[in-house]
Structure formats: structure tokens, C-alpha cells
């Protein structure tokens, strides 16, 4: 391009600000985040100075209102619209979808804003299933923005290949109406659980039920006596429930018909592998391989946050463990957002 572009962004479905944090770290000016979850407002604004949180229901909010609220211009070449909508309905996990039906087509509400403003760039991140499930609105979204002149690059990316210390596969899309652009190439710099948690990384040993009153939030859920005993029997560094599942006193009826079902539940993370995907239930050992590699507990809130690549001083504001875990698990990893932001900068200003 003939002149340097200053990039600005609006983060739709921003949550606690993972994507905003990463884009800001890359040098992009994020002017606002938009989300219906008002409980995220204090966390978002506390950690992302200069970006305001708009507490709005995107299905009822209009592009004209957004233009007025933020004084946005149409056809702004330097504007980025990021739309990482709630995506549980299209998850490949075989879970009940009733609660997520209301959000399954939010990408089409985001589309209204793209059509109206025609920003220079569009970013979308979602579960892999949204690109492959029959009936998914993603194909319609892509067809529409291509008809508007956007050049689209998309793929299912494994974020562990970008230096994110977890196996987190996501559908990622970058589109531009002003330049040809591809997704950033993987860095292939593998980071593991050992690289970010453990004593050498500032995480002292703690027991189940520990509550950290500081903003560091090295807090961990309580466990029943029996679950602690189960973890005591579980091999360190990647062990699973197989060693105790068939012991009458410790067996779990919900897995008795098929010992392979949800095999990772009650399992420990491996030190020298990326963690499994950090979900909104990572504080619970019954919801995945979320036990600490060697301590008899689930990972703490801050351990989950650093596996998601949030800075250690990112302050999550809520009195509820489940609410904070939801903020963390739903986020776009800030480091992945930073990589995308730097890639955009390099692409438009080379």
C-alpha cells in the first residue's frame, strides 16, 4: 500500500477481552468491545485501557446505533471488525444443544454490521464445527462477504502450532476488501504445560479448596475426600482413571458401561505436552483432563488463564469461580490474537 495504515478494531462478542488484549499488544487500537454479558464489563475495561465495553444484545442493536455510539465511519480501510461469537451449538462435542440454540446464528447478526460499515478487515474465530456442520451459517456468511468484495482466508488452526500451550483447534478466518491476505503461518514453537505453570513459573504448591484473595487468583476448587483419594491413586504426569475405575469403592457408575467414554475426565495433564483445550469447566476434574500434573487438585484459575496466554497481571473481577472460569475458557487466547494483529500490520504496511 502507498501509505501506512493505522489499524483500529471493534471486538464483537468480546467477553473478558482476550482478543482485545492480544490485538492491543500488537499495536492495534481497540476502541470498544461489545457483549451481552454485562458481568464481563469491569474485567474488560480494567485490563484494556482506552477500550470501552458496550453492554448490547447484538440481535437487537443496529449498525446505525453503533455508528452513533462510537462515531464510526463507513468504508474505513483501517477498521477491523472481529466477530468471535458464542459457538457451543456447533461444537463437535456430543453435548446438549438446547441452551445454545439462541446463539447459533449470531455470525449472521455480525454480518449486518460488516455489510453496513464495510470495514477494511474482518476476523472470525469459532469452533471447527461451524465450518463443517450441515446447517451452519458460516457458509452463508462467507458467500455474502465475498460478494461484497472481501478476499477470504480461512482454515481450522491448531493453536499449539502458534506457541499457545494447549491443544486448541479453532476455525479462523481473516478477510480484507483492500488487500490479498492469508492466515499467519504457524510458528511451530511448541510450548508445554511445564513452560507456563509449576513452581519455577511462580505457582506455589497448593491443596484443593485453596482460595487466593489476591488478584493473582491461584485459587482452586474444593474436592471431596473420595476424589482426593482418586487423584492420589492417579499416576503423575498424564495418568488417567483406569487404575481405580474398576475398584468398587472408587468406580463411577456413569462410566461403567464403557470405560473408554470421556476417557480424559479425572485425568492429569502432562508436563511436557500442551494442555488440552481450556474450556469453561477447567476448574473441575470431572469435566476433562484438568487435574494438575502432580498435585492432587484441579488446575487453578490463574493456571487456566496462563494456559490461555493471559498475562499474569490480567485481573478477573468476580466473586464466582464459575464466572471467572467462563471468562477464561470462552476467550480467544491473547497470544493468538497478538499474532494475528502483527500479521495484519505487516500485511498492510509492507
Q: Percent of the chain, pLDDT > 70?
A: 90
Distance (Å, whole) CA 29 – CA 332: 17
Taking residue 340's Cβ as centre, other Cβ atoms within 10 Å add up to 26
Mean pLDDT on 17-21: 98
Distance in angstroms (rounded) separating the CA atoms of residues 116 and 308: 33
Cβ neighbors of 66 (< 8 A, separation 6 or more) are: 10, 34, 54, 72, 113, 117
CATH class of 8-189+332-348: alpha beta
Q: Quick one: which of 146, 148, 159, 179 has its CA closest to 345?
A: 179
Residue 100, pLDDT above cutoff 60? no
Whether 14 is catalytic: no
CA dist 13 and 83 (Å) reads 6
Say if pTM beats, i.e. exceeds, 0.85. Answer: yes
Indicate the pLDDT class of residue 188, thresholds 50, 70 and 90. Answer: confident
What is the predicted pLDDT for the residue at 93?
Answer: 45
User: Is pLDDT above 50 for 170?
Assistant: yes
Catalytic, out of 14, 40, 87, 254: 87
Residue boundaries of the structural domains of the chain: 8-189+332-348
Q: What is the pLDDT of residues 47-57, one digit of tens each?
A: 999 999 999 99
Amino acid at each position: 500500500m502507498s501509505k501506512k495504515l493505522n489499524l483500529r478494531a471493534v471486538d464483537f462478542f468480546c467477553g473478558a477481552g482476550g482478543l482485545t488484549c492480544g490485538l492491543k499488544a500488537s499495536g492495534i487500537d481497540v476502541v470498544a468491545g461489545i457483549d451481552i454479558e454485562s458481568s464481563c464489563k469491569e474485567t474488560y475495561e480494567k485490563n484494556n485501557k482506552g477500550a470501552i465495553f458496550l453492554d448490547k444484545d447484538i440481535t437487537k442493536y443496529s449498525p446505525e446505533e453503533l455508528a452513533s455510539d462510537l462515531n464510526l465511519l463507513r468504508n474505513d480501510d483501517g477498521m477491523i471488525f472481529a466477530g468471535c461469537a458464542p459457538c457451543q451449538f456447533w461444537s463437535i462435542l456430543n453435548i446438549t444443544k438446547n441452551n445454545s440454540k439462541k446463539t447459533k446464528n449470531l455470525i449472521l447478526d455480525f454480518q449486518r454490521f460488516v455489510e453496513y460499515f464495510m470495514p477494511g478487515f474482518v476476523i472470525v474465530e469459532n469452533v471447527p464445527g461451524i465450518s463443517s456442520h450441515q446447517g451452519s451459517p458460516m457458509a452463508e456468511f462467507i458467500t455474502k462477504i465475498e460478494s461484497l468484495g472481501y478476499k477470504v482466508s480461512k482454515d481450522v488452526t491448531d493453536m499449539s502450532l502458534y506457541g499457545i500451550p494447549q491443544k486448541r483447534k479453532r476455525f479462523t478466518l481473516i478477510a480484507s476488501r483492500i488487500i490479498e491476505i492469508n492466515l499467519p503461518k504457524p510458528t511451530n514453537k511448541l510450548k508445554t504445560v511445564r513452560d507456563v505453570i509449576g513452581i519455577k513459573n511462580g505457582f506455589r504448591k497448593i491443596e484443593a479448596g485453596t482460595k487466593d484473595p489476591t488478584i493473582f487468583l491461584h485459587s482452586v476448587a474444593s474436592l471431596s475426600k473420595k476424589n482426593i483419594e482418586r487423584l492420589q491413586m492417579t499416576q503423575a504426569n498424564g495418568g488417567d482413571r483406569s487404575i481405580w475405575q474398576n475398584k468398587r469403592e472408587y468406580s463411577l457408575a456413569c462410566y461403567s458401561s464403557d470405560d473408554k467414554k470421556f476417557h480424559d475426565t479425572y485425568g492429569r495433564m502432562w508436563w511436557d505436552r500442551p494442555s488440552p483445550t481450556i474450556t469453561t469447566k477447567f476448574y473441575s476434574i470431572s469435566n476433562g483432563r484438568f487435574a494438575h500434573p502432580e498435585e492432587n487438585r484441579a488446575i487453578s484459575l490463574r493456571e487456566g488463564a496462563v494456559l490461555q496466554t493471559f498475562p499474569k497481571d490480567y485481573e478477573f473481577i468476580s466473586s464466582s469461580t464459575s464466572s471467572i472460569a467462563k471468562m477464561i475458557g470462552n476467550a480467544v487466547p491473547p497470544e493468538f490474537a497478538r499474532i494475528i494483529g502483527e500479521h495484519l500490520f505487516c500485511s498492510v504496511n509492507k
